[in-house]
Structure 1
Amino acid sequence: MSKRTASKYKLDRRMGENIWGRPKSPVNKREYGPGQHGQRRKGKLSDFGIQLRAKQKLKGYYGDVTEKQFKRAYFEASRMKGDTGQNLIGLLERRLDMVVYRAKFAPTIFAARQLVSHGHIRVNGQKCNIASRQIDVNDEISLGSKAKEMALVIEAQSLAERDIPEYVVTDGNDKVTFVRVPTLDEVPYPVKMEPNLVVEFYSR
């Protein structure tokens, strides 16, 4: 299992954007990057720099996805029919931890991953603790009995900062169904994501 070793909000500041749309993000107060050189004037990015930045932003948004996992998702997307960028978004949104996050069972993608790895999530009634598991259309994702009482879950369900997207259909407070693989336009990113630049980065 991968583990984030750096502060997650450093990514916000490095990109200069509130990637997860959280009200307590430090970028809301300090738009410059972290570290002693964070306030230096930014130079113009090269094409490679723009592509790398787009890749780091998209990979960072999905939490503790390793470079190896992300690259594997890209190669899988490139082998599928249709637009590679759209396919990549579809594969990332089908991750179990992401569906848990979209269902508002957890306040952050990092908390969603923890909820899965601690065995609090059921897929079609079966316990699953693999955050990277690919969910299929019409799979049911539900909370375990202990998770329904957790303060973390109750807090997440009351958050006003984001809504449950249309491709995740709720059935009460503790169960959702993944009804279709979303397109880029349907995914509620707080900031602009550019999967086409990610494709360019890996296909160099």
Structure 2
Amino acid sequence: MTKRTAAKYKLDRRMGENVFGRAKSPVNKREYGPGQHGQRRKNKLSDFGTQLRAKQKLKGYYGDLTEKQFKRIYTDAARVTGDTGENLVGFLERRLDAVVYRAKFVPTIWAARQFVNHAHVLVNGKSVNIPSYRVKEGDVIEVRAKSKQMGLIQEAIALTERDVPDYLEVDHNKLTATFVRQPGLSDVPYPVIMQPNLVVEFYAKNG
């Protein structure tokens, strides 16, 4: 098991949920945290603990973003009009690696980050190798011609555990995806319940 895979499943165990909806998640068999004391962690969380957990889960879902990266996105979400929690989810879904993952060009969010880093992706015909690049409505994301025969792409397309959301228009024959609109929380196909409102409360109280 690679370090990235181990980290992904560790998040599942720590949260006690199948955060990524993967068939091989360890919490499909056991629902307690990692380590020798994992089974004892049944105490009711404080408000702070509940808010922190919501933040860790949302941050972890997008490839375990650093706190600096995640807070920057939150700050941007708080600056624009509308519900900050909804904006936060929308901005997270506009990350280029998230779009590549949602389009099912790769099997995992970690693979999406690496895929972008290795310059396999074009945005509006131009190479972009920054996973945090924020796409706009109408942007066309495409797998570079030389990369279209990669095995992991067909592996991802064949996955039955997740579907392409309707805020993307995807052509798996051409390996292109158009970002139609910024989604809200109810549009995003999370396998588990996400609570961005608790993330907003966390930052409001803890800076």
SS for the counterpart of 2:114 is helix
Residue 147 of structure 1, CA deviation: 2.1
Is 1:149 the counterpart of 2:166 in the alignment?
A: no
Contact persistence 1:147–1:153 (CA under 8 A): no
Over aligned residues, Cα RMSD in angstroms? 1.4
Q: Gaps spanning 5+ residues in structure 1: where?
A: none
User: Residue by residue, what CA displacement relative to the aligned partner does 1:84-129 show, whole Å, maximum 9, x if unpaired?
Assistant: 0000001000000000000000001001111100110110111111
In structure 2, do the counterparts of structure 1 residues 41 and 52 end up closer, same or farther at CA, with 3 Å as the change threshold? closer
Contact persistence 2:119–2:129 (CA under 8 A): yes
TM-score normalised by length of structure 2: 0.94
1:82 aligned partner, one-letter code:
G
TM-score normalised by length of structure 1: 0.96
Question: Which position in structure 2 is the counterpart of 1:197?
Answer: 198
1:145 aligned partner, one-letter code:
A
Cα distance in structure 2, aligned partners of 1:28 and 1:98: 24
Aligned residues: 202
Contact persistence 1:54–1:193 (CA under 8 A): yes
Contact persistence 2:157–2:172 (CA under 8 A): no
User: Residue by residue, what CA displacement relative to the aligned partner does 1:13-39 show, whole Å, maximum 9, x if unpaired?
Assistant: 010000000001111112111011111
Of all paired residues, the percent bearing the same amino acid is 68
Cα distance in structure 2, aligned partners of 1:46 and 1:155: 41
Name the structure where helix makes up a greater proportion of residues: 2
SS for the counterpart of 1:52 is helix
Cα distance in structure 1, aligned partners of 2:58 and 2:9: 14
Contact persistence 2:101–2:107 (CA under 8 A): yes
Question: Which position in structure 1 is the counterpart of 2:29?
Answer: 29
2:183 aligned partner, one-letter code:
P
1:164 aligned partner, one-letter code:
V
Runs of 4 or more off by more than 3 Å in structure 1? 3-6
Residue 181 of structure 1, CA deviation: 0.3
SS for the counterpart of 1:203 is helix
SS for the counterpart of 1:20 is coil
Question: Which position in structure 2 is the counterpart of 1:14?
Answer: 14
Residue 8 of structure 1, CA deviation: 1.7
Residue 64 of structure 1, CA deviation: 3.6
